[in-house]
């Protein structure tokens, strides 16, 4: 019987992973451990909170005593670790917050897991969810593979790279069973409106300007969040111990092309004249150290585990926009209060 702690389960990707595991595996106990920072929101899980195999523990991964209690109380057998500070722009303003949660928090979790599983480490798995940003930036060609050298460029990616190294080091040094996956940019429902896609959907709804960083020719590889959750399910159950898997959408978009697509889809959905939303596009000061291009070679997870994305980008993006249009209350809740201060401080000087 598995008692899995999923950290960061109240966040964007974590909530999709929790929902998938709770509904697909009624025999597992799923413990959502989350500090409920600005990015964590229990409304993301309102539909499954009554399930008998779902438990929520409000805790910070910097609080070792709280982690010990949760491992003890729920007799945790496995970890899927997503809790993190996740936004590059915030990491440029407050790098230390990223060191605390992403590096020290991960090491705390490794230590507590190792201690509680000491009797037989081979029966337990520590799954660390990471990002393709650890590999740095690509030029016009090439893809990130699992053997691409780490070359992080932002405080966020440096902190995630560091956490990946610690997980790998714990596998080597202490014989813990670990697995790491490095995924490309996700999009979908429950995405906090500080990242490109949900921020721009929200701004288009409100007819606010769309701040495009630099020349807008930066490239990202977008994956629907439910496909990331299904990949995590597969890697958790079938991945080889101590391996790493790249996960990506085979779906590269230059920011400006993606933004124009969102504008035209939303002209139609909001009944605005063709071209109306594009008028909101405003080029602003670039992000320092902005990575030019990310693109994942996901052939290992495809050939070894049989995973591939199920949603096309057009379907996924359209579904995502519809979700935001239908969930205005969720959007209002997360953009009230502290969000206004964040927005002013992040965008007023650009």
47 catalytic residue (yes or no): no
Which string of x and - marks every residue 91-120 that binds ligand NAD (by CB under 6 A)?
Answer: ----------x---x---------------
Q: Which does 269 bind (CB under 5 to 8 A by kind): ligand TYD, ligand NAD, none?
A: none
Closest CA to 101 of 67, 135, 62, 132: 62
Decide if 78 contacts 56 (C-beta within 8 A). Answer: no
* Active-site residue flag, 257: no
Tokens of 210: 């769309």
Nearest-angstrom CA–CA distance, 180 and 167: 8
CB of 59 to ligand NAD, least distance (A): 6
> Taking the mean position of all CA atoms in its chain, how far away is CA 131?
8
CB-based contact 35:83 (threshold 8 Å): yes
At 116, list the tokens: 């509680």
Structure tokens at 191: 């995405």
Q: How far is the CB of 81 from ligand NAD (least distance, A)?
A: 7
Residue 301 beta carbon to ligand TYD: minimum distance, rounded to whole angstroms: 20
Q: Which is nearer to ligand TYD, 221 or 227 (CB)?
A: 221
Nearer residue to ligand NAD within complex by CB, 134 or 204: 134
Alpha helices in 87-186 (DSSP H): 88-93, 95-98, 105-116, 155-174
Angle at Cα 243 formed by Cα 100 and Cα 195, nearest 5°?
45
For the chain, give the longest Cα–Cα distance.
66
Our answer to whether residue 132 is catalytic in this structure is yes
**Does 183 participate in binding ligand NAD (rule CB under 6 A)?**
yes
For residue 34, the partner it binds in ligand NAD, ligand TYD, none, with Cβ less than 5 to 8 A by kind, is ligand NAD
Contact between 317 and ligand NAD by CB under 6 A: the answer reads: no
Residue 131 forms beta bridges with which residues?
Answer: 183
Shorter beta-carbon distance to ligand TYD: residue 195 or 308? 195
Instruction: Report DSSP state, residue 273.
Output: P
Nearest to 301 by CA among 230, 231, 227: 231
Shortest Cβ 107–ligand NAD spacing (Å): 12
Using rule CB under 6 A, residue 129 touches ligand NAD: yes
Number of residues that bind ligand NAD (CB under 6 A): 30
Q: Which of residues 36-75 bind ligand NAD (CB under 6 A)?
A: 36-37, 39-40, 60-62
Please state the closest distance from residue 13 (CB atom) to ligand NAD, in A.
3
CB-nearer residue toward ligand NAD: 40 or 239: 40
85, 132, 164, 252: which one is catalytic? 132
Written as six digits, the tokens of 49 are 């909170």
Q: Which does residue 84 touch among ligand NAD, ligand TYD, none (CB within 5 to 8 A, set by kind)?
A: ligand NAD
Residue 160 in contact with residue 152, Cβ under 8 Å? yes
Degrees, nearest 5: CA angle 18-165-306 = 50
| Contact pick of 108, 154, 185, 320 for ligand NAD (by CB under 6 A) | 185
User: In angstroms, rounded to a whole number, what is the distance separating the alpha carbons of residues 249 and 228?
Assistant: 9
Alpha helix (H) residue ranges in 206-312: 225-238, 255-269, 299-305
**According to CB under 6 A, which one of 4, 5, 6, 8 is a site residue for ligand NAD?**
8
Q: Check: CB of residue 98 under 8 Å from CB of residue 91.
A: yes
Choose between 44 and 184: whose C-beta lies nearer to ligand TYD.
Answer: 184
Which of the residues are catalytic?
132-133, 156
Binding site for ligand NAD (CB under 6 A): 7-8, 10-14, 34-37, 39-40, 60-62, 82-86, 101, 105, 129, 131, 160, 183, 185-186, 192
């Amino acid at each position: 019987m598995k008692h899995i702690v999923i950290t960061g389960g109240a966040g964007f990707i974590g909530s999709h992973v929790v929902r998938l595991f709770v509904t697909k595996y009624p025999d597992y106990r799923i413990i959502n451990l989350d500090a409920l920072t600005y990015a964590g929101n229990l409304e993301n899980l309102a539909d499954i909170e009554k399930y008998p195999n779902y438990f929520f523990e409000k805790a910070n991964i910097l609080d070792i005593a709280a982690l010990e209690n949760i491992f003890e109380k729920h007799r945790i057998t496995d970890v899927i670790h997503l809790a993190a500070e996740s936004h590059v722009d915030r990491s440029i303003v407050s790098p230390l917050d990223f060191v605390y949660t992403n590096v020290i928090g991960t090491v705390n979790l490794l230590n507590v897991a190792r201690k509680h599983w000491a009797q037989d480490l081979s029966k337990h798995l520590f799954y660390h969810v990471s990002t393709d940003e650890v590999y740095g930036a690509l030029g016009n060609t090439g893809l990130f593979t699992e053997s691409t050298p780490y070359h992080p460029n932002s405080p966020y990616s440096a902190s995630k790279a560091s956490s990946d190294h610690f997980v790998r080091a714990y596998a080597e040094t202490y014989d813990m069973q670990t697995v790491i996956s490095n995924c490309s940019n996700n999009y979908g429902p429950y995405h906090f409106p500080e990242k490109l896609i949900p921020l721009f959907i929200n701004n288009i709804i409100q007819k606010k300007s769309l701040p495009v960083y630099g020349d807008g020719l930066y490239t990202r590889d977008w994956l629907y969040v439910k496909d990331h959750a299904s990949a995590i399910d597969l890697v958790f159950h079938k991945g080889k111990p101590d391996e790493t898997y790249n996960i990506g959408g085979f779906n590269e978009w230059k920011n400006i092309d993606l933004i124009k697509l969102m504008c035209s889809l939303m002209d139609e959905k909001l009944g605005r004249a063709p071209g109306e939303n594009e008028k909101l596009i405003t080029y602003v000061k670039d992000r320092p150290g902005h990575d030019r291009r990310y693109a994942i070679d996901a052939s290992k997870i495809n050939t070894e585990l049989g995973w591939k994305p199920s949603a096309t980008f057009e379907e996924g993006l359209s579904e995502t926009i519809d979700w935001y249009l239908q969930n205005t209350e969720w959007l209002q809740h997360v953009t009230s209060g502290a969000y206004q201060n964040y927005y002013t401080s992040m965008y007023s000087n650009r």
